[in-house]
Amino acid sequence: MKKLTAILAFFFIAGTIYSAPASNPKIKFIKGNIQDKIASVKEDAIDNAYSIAQSAVDFVIENIELLKDDRDFAGLAVASVYAYPEKEFSENVDLVLGKFGSIFYLIKDQNVRVSILDKLLSVSSAISNDEIVAFINNYLAGASNDKVALTDVEKKSIQVISKIGNDKSFELLYYIYNHDIWPEYRKETKKALISLADKSTGFLMNEIRKADFTEMKLIYSIFIENSELSSTIKSEIAENLLSNSMIIIRDSSKISKELSAFQFNNCSIICQNSWTRGYALVISYFDIAKTEFAAGFLTNEQFATIISYVEKTASKDSVKVLTAYLEELNKETEKGNLPASNIASAVIQALGNLGDKSAFDCLLFTTYLNYPEDIVAQARRALSSLKW
């Protein structure tokens, strides 16, 4: 009986000793099946010198050719990616990205790829993210060039680079949007472009300078019409759009109502935002606006507004062009061709506000012409406002 009791005690103790390590995640990972390995990755202590997640990633890479289409194997890849220690990125970013890249490109499972993109975003704030952004840019460039079907992977890629992307990301997104690569995700792509616009003004201005009118309208719709973009960037874009549109219509046969309205809107952005860098351009635009107004492509109200914009530049050139224009109106009035009252009033008011004495002769002559009495009275008030 004593001998039997001793034998039972031995097996009980042995069983306890054998079963005790089963709670150790490392042993569970080594000995277990795929589900056990997933569980051990989740149970691993965060402060281990070498985490089970690292071992799991290595295991995935070693067996990827055999098991890349297995769902459980994909689950292990997802768990190990999410659990991968952040410090490894800061210490060995190229090595880690190499491993993640192998998993990303060899396992087609969307959950695996999205988990990698999630992980890269989560660690990006703690390290220099140039390599991470390049990784995502390269994938999106390939996917957009190949025009692959839109999946959660492409969506997540766009979401991530909208937050951490660089100027190359912007160029890529602009290509995707401009060529309508994934039309069902167009709204989100546009939002991503807006979020990166401040990093990519050089590229965008270069695109404007070589754009045709169709592309300029696209750029306007993306950036100028977006309430989230800063007034500074909008103004710079508007300046370049106006400048390039003026080059387009050096041939007067290309003037149209649509193009005239486009120029007016961009001039308005420049002046309403007090973008002084674009004021010289506004002066140059005035001659084109006169032609467009004479052709009936700008309304009286629009042209009167442009006159007020020229006044706002408050320069010698603004006085010069407005005085010259009032002289033109005076000559037409002498011939019996009275201008619209709001146009004559706008020019006179602008010259009075500017107060430059070089406008004296022109304003004085206005008072002797057959303008309506209110216009003549306004010219007299403008005369009294001149500074001597």
Ordered per-residue pLDDT tens for the chain, 388 residues:
555 455 445 444 444 444 444 567 677 777 777 888 888 888 765 545 468 899 999 999 999 999 999 999 999 999 999 999 988 888 888 999 999 999 999 999 999 999 999 999 999 987 778 999 999 999 999 999 999 999 999 999 999 999 999 999 999 999 999 999 999 999 999 999 999 999 999 999 999 999 999 999 999 999 999 988 999 999 999 999 999 999 987 655 678 999 999 999 999 999 999 999 999 999 999 999 999 999 999 999 999 999 999 999 999 999 999 999 999 999 999 999 999 999 999 999 999 999 999 999 999 999 999 999 999 999 999 999 999 8
Start-to-end Cα distance in the chain: 129
What letter does residue 356 receive in the DSSP assignment? Answer: B
The answer to whether 233 and 241 are in contact (CB under 8 A) is no
pLDDT of residue 12: 47
pLDDT of residue 252: 56
* Three-class HEC string of 302-342: HHHHHHHHHHHHCCHHHHHHHHHHHHHHHHHHHCCCCCCHH
pLDDT of residue 17: 43
Residue type, 340: A
Return d(Cα 200, Cα 176) in angstroms, integer.
16
Return d(Cα 19, Cα 37) in angstroms, integer.
17
**What's the whole-model pTM score?**
0.84
Closest to 339 measured CA to CA, from 348, 330, 350, 351: 330
Q: Which two tokens stand for residue 240?
A: 């370049």
Q: Return all residues near 223 (Cβ < 8 A) that are at least 6 apart.
A: 193, 194, 197, 204, 229, 233, 234, 237
pLDDT of residue 18: 43
Closest to 157 measured CA to CA, from 121, 129, 197: 121
pLDDT of residue 107: 96
pLDDT of residue 251: 57
Burial tier of 27 (Cβ tally within 10 Å: 0-12, 13-18, 19+): middle
Residue type, 58: D
